[in-house]
A and B are shown apart, each in its own frame.
Chain A
Amino acid sequence: MRVVIAEDLTLLRDGLTRLLEAFDFEVVEAVDNGPALLPALLRHRPDVAVVDVRLPPTQTDEGLKAAIAARVAIPGLPVLVLSQHVEPLYARELLTDRAGGIGYLLKERVSDVEQFVSTVNQVAAGGTAFDPEVVAQLLARRGPLDGLTAREHDVLRHIAEGRSNAAIAGRLFITEKVVSKHINSIFAKLGMPPSDDDNRRVLAVLMFLDA
Chain B
Amino acid sequence: MRVAHRFRTGLSAMADALFAIGLALLNPGVLALWLAGLVLSPVPVLGPELLGVTTTVVRWRADLERGLSTRAGVPIRRPYLPQPAGAEVGSRRWLKWVVTDPATWRDASWLVPGAIVGAVLGVITIAVVGYALIGVLLVPLWLFLGDIWFGYGVFWPTADLGEAWLALPQGMAILAAGLALAPLLRATNLRFGRLLLAPTHSAELRLRVAHLTVTRADAVDAQAAELRRIERDLHDGAQARMVSVGMTIGLAERLVRRDPAAALKLLAEARAASTTALVELRHLVRGIHPPVLAERGLEGAVQALVMSLPIRTDVTSHLPGRLDTPVESAVYFAVAEALANMSRHSNARSGWVLLRHADGVLFVQVGDDGDGGADPERGTGLHGIERRLDVFDGTVSVTSPPGGPTVVTMELPCALSSPRT
Contact = CB atoms under 8 A, between A and B. Distances in A.
Secondary structure dominating the interface of A: helix
A107 B243 contact: yes
Interface string B225-252: 0000000100110011111111111110
Nearest to B242: A108
Interface string A61-86: 00000000000000000000000100
A9 B238 CA distance: 12
A89 interface: no
B253 interface: yes
Interface residues of A, number: 19
A15 B244 contact: yes
Contacts of A16: 247
Given A84-B235, A108-B242, A108-B243, A15 B248 contact: yes
Contact of B254 (A11, A84, A114): A114
A110 B241 contact: no
A84 B232 CA distance: 11
A196 interface: no
B254 A12 contact: no
A112 B232 CA distance: 25
A22 interface: yes
A156 B126 CA distance: 99
Interface in A1-57: 9, 11-12, 15-16, 18-19, 22, 54
A22 B254 contact: yes
A11 B239 contact: no
Contacts of B245: 111
A137 interface: no
Q: Which of the listed residues B235, B240, B241, B249 has the most CB atoms from chain A within 10 Å of its own CB? A: B240
B251 A18 contact: yes
A113 interface: yes
A55 to B, nearest CB: 12
6 contacts: A12-B240, A19-B251, A108-B243, A110-B250, A111-B247, A113-B253
A84 B247 contact: no
Interface string B181-195: 000000000000000
Given A111-B247, A111-B250, 12 more contacts: A11-B240, A11-B241, A11-B244, A11-B273, A12-B240, A12-B247, A15-B244, A59-B232, A84-B235, A108-B243, A113-B253, A114-B254
A22 B240 CA distance: 21
Nearest to A110: B247
Contacts of B249: 111
Contact of B251 (A54, A59, A108, A113): A113
Interface of B: 232, 235-236, 239-251, 253-254, 273
Contacts of B248: 15
A140 B255 CA distance: 39
Contact of A113 (B239, B241, B250): B250
Contacts of B244: 11-12, 15
A22 B243 contact: no
B246 A110 contact: yes
B262 to A, nearest CB: 10
B353 to A, nearest CB: 37
Contact of B246 (A11, A22, A108, A114): A108
User: Nearest 7 pairs between A and B by C-beta?
Assistant: A111-B246, A113-B250, A107-B243, A111-B250, A110-B247, A15-B247, A9-B240
Interface in A101-116: 107-108, 110-114, 116
A112 B250 contact: yes
A9 B232 CA distance: 12
Nearest to A83: B235
A12 B273 CA distance: 12
A113 B247 contact: yes
A113 to B, nearest CB: 4
A75 to B, nearest CB: 31
Contacts of A22: 251, 254
A113 B241 CA distance: 16
Contact of A9 (B236, B250, B253, B254): B236
B1 to A, nearest CB: 65
